[in-house]
Amino acid sequence: MSWVLSNRPNYGGVRVSEQKPRKTIWSKYGFLWVTLGLFLVSLVGHWIFAWYAFVSEQLQHGQSPEVQEFVIQTTRDTLENWQSEFLQLVWQVSGLALLYHIGSPQSKDGNDRLEEKIDLILKAVDKDAEKEIAKLDRAYLRD
């Protein structure tokens, strides 16, 4: 077995199994790039289909489509949509974080009863249980 381990190929004095792949900016921030790509595709798609809808609407009214009017209208619609989504998301994230922080009943994990039972067992078997429980409470920020 030692012959197999000693004969593993190594490159630059480091065994292949010990080499770590280099993290490029593409792999390190992969989620960001995928999200950015999806965002750009959806934004371009929104503007393309908005242009077709705008031209159709202008022709129905007997007007010629003007790029300046299209840009203003589509920018307004885009920002209005972003504002609505952003405010909704901010409220959901900050509201849930606040409720979790203040300890609302919906955010509790339900371990209080279990902790009390374990405290009772510890008190029954250890004479220094109060000290140990106090240490644990300080370490894990238990109220």
Residues 81 and 114 occupy one common structural domain: no
Tokens 């300046």 sit on residue: 68
Contact 100, 107 (CB under 8 A): yes
**Domain count of the chain?**
3
Distance CA 22, CA 26 (A): 11
Query: Where is average pLDDT lowest: 2-11, 16-25, 116-125, 131-140?
Result: 2-11
Which residues span the domain enclosing 18?
1-61
- Using pLDDT thresholds of 50, 70 and 90, give the confidence band for residue 26: confident
Instruction: Read off the pTM.
Output: 0.49
Task: Say whether both 77 and 131 belong to one domain.
Answer: no
12 with 35, same domain? yes
Q: Are residues 98 and 117 in the same domain?
A: no
92 Cα distance to chain centroid? 13
Residue 74 reports pLDDT greater than 80: yes
Q: Do residue 113 and residue 102 come from a single domain? A: no
Whether pLDDT at 78 is above 90:
yes
Higher local confidence (pLDDT), 111 or 55: 55
13 vs 114 pLDDT, higher one: 114
